[in-house]
Amino acid sequence: MSTAALGAFPYFSLPDGYLAKGEKMLDFGQMAVWTGERHEIVEGKVAVIGIVHDRKAGKAFSLLEVTRNFEQVISEAGGVKVFSGKVPNEHRNDADAKAAMADYHPQAKCWPNDDVHVYALRRPDGLTWVRLCGNRGFAGLMVADVGALKTTAALLPASALKQQLDGTGKVALQVNFATDKTDILADSLPQIDQVVQLLKDDPGLQLAVNGHTDNTGDAARNKRLSEGRAQAVVKAIVDKGIDATRLDAKGFGDTQPVAGNDTDAGKAQNRRVELVKR
């Protein structure tokens, strides 16, 4: 159990002469850590930082220097090393682990065959995982404070859905999906029920169900993902007794953003499913 005062998240600064690259801070995200037996997918507050040397200052990159620095500071903070080495070949492409890390910069998550060091810091108020990886050219640091999502989205009842559709012809649904997948999460099923109620209340209403993503990753992949998510919503509605001919699923990928993709908040707005009157 660590009782050290860790300071502000993500707790650890880079060694002198090194710079951050591909940095990302998430109030809620996922991280895959190899425990020596399996990948553990942890969720909570996540920091993802690529580490490179400062060429302009004449600094040469030393993976040993970076590794020893973090090993020392994490140990002083009360951290325990869980694993050190290479993830076994047969586990390097585990689907769940790849999905959890899909949106992170390569210089933060490193390459599948790079060495990985995993630490756990147990504190009276929670658990922190630290993942350090690296090779000859760069290193990557990930820190995750394990915690549950604090829900801020609100359920839109059928009456509110109807009001927005009557006013603007479309409405964005509060539907959450598994990371990089088309599976609708259980916490979104009550919202699907409200769409079903909307369609039951107005038997003549027909809707286009349009999927959208942010601009992370390949455009073609984003279009496929948005189409799959729109189809998943249609299937969930049809499974509850609505005639499939009243619904039309389409995916637009990242081509119709409603906010900037330069912030996590903007990207969250762009990842959406919209109902549009036909």
The distance between the two most distant Cα atoms of the chain, rounded to a whole number of Å, is: 71
Q: Is residue 151 part of a domain?
A: no
Residues 231 and 269 in one domain: yes
Element (H, E) at 109: helix 106-109
Burial of 160 (0-12, 13-18, 19+ CB in 10 A): middle
**Are residues 268 and 214 part of one domain?**
yes
Strand pairing of 139-146 and 126-134? antiparallel
Q: Are 187 and 176 in contact (CB under 8 A)?
A: yes
Tokens found for residue 90: 């047969």
- Contact, 42 vs 144, CB < 8 A? yes
Task: Establish if 12 belongs to a structural domain.
Answer: no
Question: Residue 94: which pLDDT band, with cuts at 50, 70 and 90?
Answer: very high
Query: Smallest Cα–Cα separation from 108: which of 41, 70, 52, 165?
Result: 52
The tally of domains found in the chain comes to 2
- Same domain as 171, residue 125: no
Structure tokens at 4: 């050290």
177 part of a folded domain: yes
Cα separation, 63 vs 269, whole angstroms: 38
Residue 163 shares a structural domain with residue 232: yes
Specify the pLDDT at position 180: 80
In a domain, 77, yes or no: yes
Residue with tokens 């580490």: 51
Report whether 115 contacts 97 (CB < 8 A).
no
pLDDT of residue 220: 93
171-191 average pLDDT score: 89
Last residue of a domain, one of 146, 178, 213: 146
At residue 148, the pLDDT reads 84
Distance between CA atoms of residues 74 and 119, nearest Å: 8
Average pLDDT over residues 181-210: 95
Give 258-277 pLDDT, tens digit per residue. Answer: 999 888 778 889 999 999 99
Highest mean pLDDT: which range of 102-106, 147-151, 177-181? 102-106
Helix, strand and coil percent figures for the chain, each rounded to 5: 30, 30, 35
CATH number where 266 lies: 3.30.1330.60
Q: Is residue 89 part of a domain?
A: yes
The average pLDDT across 181-202 equals 94
Query: Rounded to an integer, what is the distance from CA 248 to the centroid of its chain?
Result: 28
The tokens for 61 are: 């990159």
Say whether both 230 and 188 belong to one domain.
yes
Are 162 and 124 in a shared domain?
A: no
Verify that 128 and 163 share a domain, yes or no: no
The reply to whether 152 falls in a domain is: no
CA angle 179, 85, 39 (to 5 degrees): 25
Q: Is residue 58 part of a domain?
A: yes
Domain boundary among 78, 111, 146: 146
The SS3 call for residue 68 is: helix
Q: Which ranges of 122-263 does DSSP label H, i.e. alpha helix?
A: 158-168, 189-201, 219-238
**86 and 169 in one domain?**
no
* Average pLDDT of the segment spanning 224-230: 96
The residue written with tokens 């799959």 in the block is 228
SS3 of residue 48 by DSSP: strand
Same-domain check for residues 96 and 132: yes
Distance CA 31, CA 99 (A): 9
Task: Indicate whether 3 belongs to any domain.
Answer: no
**Interatomic CA distance for residues 225 and 234, integer angstroms:** 14
Whether residues 270 and 234 share a domain: the answer is yes
Instruction: State the amino acid at position 264 in one-letter form.
Output: D
Domain housing 63? 18-146
How much is the average pLDDT of 80-92? 97
Domain boundary among 115, 146, 177: 146
| Shared-domain flag, residues 118 and 193 | no
Confidence band for 32, pLDDT divided at 50, 70 and 90: very high
Residue that the structure tokens 């990557």 belong to: 140
Whether residue 271 sits in one domain with residue 171: yes
- Of the candidates 215, 229, 120, the one whose C-alpha atom is nearest the C-alpha of residue 178 is 229
**Residue 184 DSSP code:** B
